[in-house]
Structure 1
Amino acid sequence: MTRPRVVVAGLGDSGLLTAIHLARHAEVVGVSVKPGLVSGQELGTRLSRPDRWSRDYWVSFDRYRGLDGVRTVHGDVTGLDIDCRRLSVRLPDGTIEEESYDILVIATGVSNGFWRRPTLQTSGQVDAELRSVHDRLASAHSIAVIGGGAAAVSSAANLAQRWPSTRLDLYFPGDRALPQHHPRTWRRVERILRDRGVGLHPGHRALIPADSELTEITDDPVTWSTGQPDATADAVLWAIGRVRPNTAWVPSTLLDDDGFVRVGADLRVPGHDEIFAIGDVAATDPLRSSARNRADKLLARNIRAALAGRRLGSYRAPRRRWGSVLGTQPDGLQIFAPNGPAFRLPSWSVDTVLQPVIVRRIIYRGIRRRTGGTSPDR
């Protein structure tokens, strides 16, 4: 009996896990512009300690045991024919390959700054980009971080911890940063930032440079629409949450007014029982939170249910962001609950239990050790 074919467009965190869950139940094809998982998580650690970040968040697809039954295609999705159930993929050599499907999962994520871009890259290009950004910040005597979300706050905290002699300033538009987290989360993180010497500048809303997509670290003065004097620094890191869905290839009938994929509570596109979406690209709720709340398990169950003619489950989104904000620190990993309280995993448990056992073995169903290269145990 022929197994149903599921094509997962986008193998970021959510798409990768969905493919792993379905590998034993369907013929799965995963399409990715990267040759492995290049996670959008933990920007602060990525910038300040790229080798450590790479160990956990930049992993080639051939190392995932759960993908052994999945065919991965290194390419850029350029088109979708809904009627023919066919995806067009541009390969690195420029040729176009067609991928047919019974079920399509749209998980192509969003573009945001220089660290989340849907560009075709080789492993060497990923490594070079990580190193060049780190070296650019390491050489700066002053750094300005623009933005009030978790990416900006994490960057400021980790860069200040990595280079305590560098002047570090965080500028954000509201009265407090982390507006999508509980106020108690910000109060705790604010103390950490102040203890590390980060200058905090609330009420600063930046004017975006003309024709800029904010995909580079700059050294130009930052001008404020809120009237304050221009800010200057050797390196300006833009992390303002200016996300753009990677849906140029998706027919507009599947998208909302902002370009995100419309989905119901079952993560299925209305009117198209064979198309699902997950992650930052899916308009599940105002926070598009399915990327951070393990909706991959629900999606895999729903796809299997849809193929078997069974009832589908519903995704329930949290009202606030939660989880890690700063990433692993010298004293461990703080995880914030939706209502603000935090609990800390000691640093020894992160390296001996959380990453090797819970993440690599249980969540990702086994990751082989890396051989060769420059980054340890990647």
Structure 2
Amino acid sequence: MSAHRRRPRVVIAGMGDSGLLTALHLARGRSPVPLSRSGSRATIDIVGISSKPGLLSGQELGTRIARPDVWSRDYWIGFDRFRGLDRVRTVHGTLVGLDTGQRRVEVVRSDCSTVAEPYDVLVISTGVRNGFWRQPTLQTAADIADDLRRTHARLRAATSIAVIGGGAAAISSAANVAAVWPNKNVHLYFPGSRALPGHHPRVWQQVRARLEGYGVELHPGHRARLPAGSGIDHIGTGPVQWSTGQPSAHADAVVWAVGAVRPNTEWLPADLLDEHGFVRVDDDLGVTGHERIFALGDVAATDPLRNSARNRADRLVAHNVRATLRGGHRRRYRPRQHRWGSVLGVQRDGLEIFTPDGRGFRLPAWSIDTVLQPWIVRRGIYRGVRDQEWEV
């Protein structure tokens, strides 16, 4: 039996929030799996592939643009700092192809060389691109730090700021910018009668009061005409035009957070994708028609909200990967009807978290840096993070 078969290999394509957590679950204890009917066993060989040299989270956009130093401490973490990844091999590169017959992915590494990574099980978690803060571009730590500084400086220099969009990213951006710079004119434009349409209606009622308290001017019923090309992939200058007939809006800086997501699936064969380019999955998050491929996170067509990342499907996928290797029972994913979690991020009075039924509870400000981040997130969820911070 070959050495490769003696160490089953799991390749995780995409090491954002979902991919990272899946890798941590699989690496925990490196629990052995049977290799044959004879009962021989081996630990799992885990390979993570990422276009970034660390976890660059897509969460809490408002804090990212208004307080990048605070955001970087908790959401921009090098892979070498995760104790749970010590026995996981990470590849810094861009995914360019998948051969399902040969069970291998092709990667162009940061030195421009191309390598093939074989797998026994593949986990697809490459996410989506969405605005300036979620792009699949191959970046170094210095590139990311420059992006964070540039965006913050652009907004700091603006007198008036228009935020376009009705989802959590837009709401968070408007609120945090207004909270950090109370003298700026901050306008939030969204297409419906209320924002946060994916959340329970109770959430918007509470968040709207907070926005108004920060002095954000709300403009419901405004559906923007998107600029051509990559116009929404950076901080714009306007004017913003509306398909709903209102006069154009002008601002020194325009934050596009309209939810025009595009899945990072150009490297995948067409038979894995639905009509919108997302990965088709069954109720166990296995890719339809492919026994040894899974998908989770924003890239997976699980439900209309594609909410598997928020609902901790990383645990389920890790279980199902092991079940696939050892011939066990695979669990089913059950999506929620509403989004849940934080909307505004940490504020001066703490962190408000909303449940799927729209009810909120607040963690006091003192608990964020003393309990939540060091104990619940870094030690509990991330299995231990070494102290070190990126300079922003």
Summarize the alignment of residues 323-334 of structure 1 with structure 2, pairs less than 5 Å apart. Answer: 323-334=341-352
Per-residue CA deviations over 1:160-179 (Å, capped at 9, x if unaligned) read 00000000000000000001
**Counterpart Cα distance in 2 of 1:44 and 1:208:** 21
Of residues 142, 145, 148, the one that matches 1:130 is 148
- Distance in structure 2 (CA, Å) of the matches to 1:100 and 1:337: 40
- 1:288 matches 2:288: no
Is 2:291 the counterpart of 1:273?
yes
- In the alignment, the residues of structure 1 paired with residue 17 and residue 229 of structure 2 have an alpha-carbon distance, to the nearest angstrom, of 30
Query: CA shift at 1:210, angstroms?
Result: 2.2
Q: How many Å separate the matches in 2 of 1:138 and 1:210?
A: 26
The yes-or-no answer on 1:374 pairing with 2:378 is no
The match for 1:16 is 20
Q: Trace 1:31-110 onto structure 2 (pairs within 5 A).
A: 31-110=49-128
How big is each residue's C-alpha offset from its partner over 1:167-203, in whole Å with a ceiling of 9 and x where there is no partner?
0000000000001111110010000000111000000
Show the counterpart of 2:185. Answer: 167
- Structure 2 portions without partners, runs of 5+: 32-43
1: CA distance between counterparts of 2:289 and 2:211?
Answer: 48
How high is the sequence identity, in percent, across the aligned residues? 63
The one-letter amino acid of 2:10's match is V
Q: How far apart, CA to CA, are the structure 2 residues paired with 1:347 and 1:301?
A: 35
SS in structure 1 at match of 2:308: helix
What is the alpha-carbon distance in structure 1 between the residues aligned to residue 168 and residue 307 of structure 2?
Answer: 14
SS of alignment partner, residue 195 of structure 2:
coil
The alpha-carbon deviation at position 213 of structure 1 amounts to 4.6
Moved runs in structure 1, 4+ residues, more than 4 A?
Answer: none
Q: C-alpha separation between the residues in 1 aligned to 2:201 and 2:184?
A: 28
SS at match of 1:292: coil
Q: Deviations over 1:107-163 (max 9, x none)?
A: 000000000000000000000100100000000000000000000000000000000
Q: SS at the partner of 1:178?
A: coil
Matches within 5 A, 1:185-334: 185-334=203-352
Report the Cα distance in structure 1 between the residues aligned to 2:350 and 2:227, rounded to whole angstroms.
Answer: 38
**Paired letter, 1:294:** R
| Residue of structure 2 equivalent to 1:348 | 366
Amino acid of the structure 2 residue aligned with 1:296: D
Q: Give TM-score, length-normalised by structure 2.
A: 0.94
Greater shift in the superposed pair: 208-217 or 83-92: 208-217
Q: Superposition RMSD on alpha carbons, in Å?
A: 0.9
One-letter amino acid of the structure 2 residue matched with residue 331 of structure 1 = D
Gaps of 5+ in 1: none
Q: Corresponding residue for 2:36?
A: none
Deviations 1:292-347 (A, max 9, x none): 11110111011111111111001111100011000010000000111111000001
Q: With structure 1 as the length reference, what TM-score do the two structures score?
A: 0.98
Partner-residue secondary structure (3-state), 2:117 = strand
Q: Deviations over 1:4-57 (max 9, x none)?
A: 100000000000010111121410000000000000000000000000000000
Q: Distance in 1 between matches of 2:231 and 2:105?
A: 28
Q: Residue in 2 aligned with 1:146?
A: 164
Separation (CA, whole Å) in 2 of partners of 1:36 and 1:122:
9
Rounded to whole Å, the distance in 1 between the matches of 2:8 and 2:386 is: 28
- 2:9 match: 5
Residues in 1 aligned to 2:211 and 2:231: alpha-carbon distance in whole angstroms: 28
Supply the distance in 1 between the matched residues of 2:22 and 2:203 (Cα, whole angstroms): 30
